[in-house]
Amino acid sequence: MNVAFLTETGYQGKWPLNFPNARTEIAWQITLNADHYNIHNYNNVKGYDVVFVIFPKSTVKLNSIGIEMNGVADRDMAIYTSPIIEVLKEHNKKVCNIQEGPSWFFNDYNLDIQFHFYNKLSECDILFAHNYSDVRFYSGLFRSKRVDVIPTLMISPDFACPSHKQNKAIIEGNFARWYGGFQSYIVASTFDCPIYVPSSHCKRNGEEQVPNLHHLPWVNWNQWMLQLSEFKYAVNIMPTVAAGTFSMNCAYWGIPCIGNVNVDTQNTLFPRYSVGDYDIDTAQRMADALLDDAEYKSVSEYAQETLRDSYHLDRRLWLEHMEKIING
| Rounded mean pLDDT, 71-83 | 71
Which residue range(s) make up the domain with 238? 169-309
Domain total in the chain: 2
Closest CA relative to residue 212, chosen from 187, 192, 232: 192
The answer to whether position 43 is within a domain reads yes
How far apart, in whole angstroms, are the C-alpha atoms of residue 128 and residue 146? 9
CATH number at residue 141: 3.40.50
The answer to whether position 202 is within a domain reads yes
Strand partners, 215: 197
Is residue 65 over pLDDT 60?
no
Residue 117 shares a structural domain with residue 204: no
Residue 160 burial (CB count, 10 A): 8
Residue 71 shares a structural domain with residue 179: no
CA angle 9–10–13, rounded 5-degree value: 100
The answer to whether position 161 is within a domain reads no
Are 151 and 32 in contact, with CB atoms under 8 Å apart? Answer: no
How far apart, in whole angstroms, are the C-alpha atoms of residue 124 and residue 50? 11
Are 109 and 117 in contact, with CB atoms under 8 Å apart? Answer: yes
Residue 74 shares a structural domain with residue 182: no
Closest CA relative to residue 108, chosen from 55, 68, 139, 56: 68
pLDDT band of residue 63 (cuts 50, 70, 90) is low
Residue 119 shares a structural domain with residue 184: no
Provide the 8-state DSSP code for 82: S
pLDDT band of residue 73 (cuts 50, 70, 90) is very low
CATH number at residue 295: 3.40.50.2000
Residue 150 shares a structural domain with residue 205: no
Position 57 scores a pLDDT of: 82
Out of 77-91, 153-167, 212-226, 293-307, pick the least confident: 153-167
- DSSP for 65-79, written as a single string: TS-B-TT-PPPP-HH
Q: Which residues are within 8 A (CB) of 274 and not within 5 positions of it... i.e. 6 or more apart?
A: 258, 259, 260, 261, 263, 266, 267
Residue 254 shares a structural domain with residue 123: no
The answer to whether position 19 is within a domain reads yes
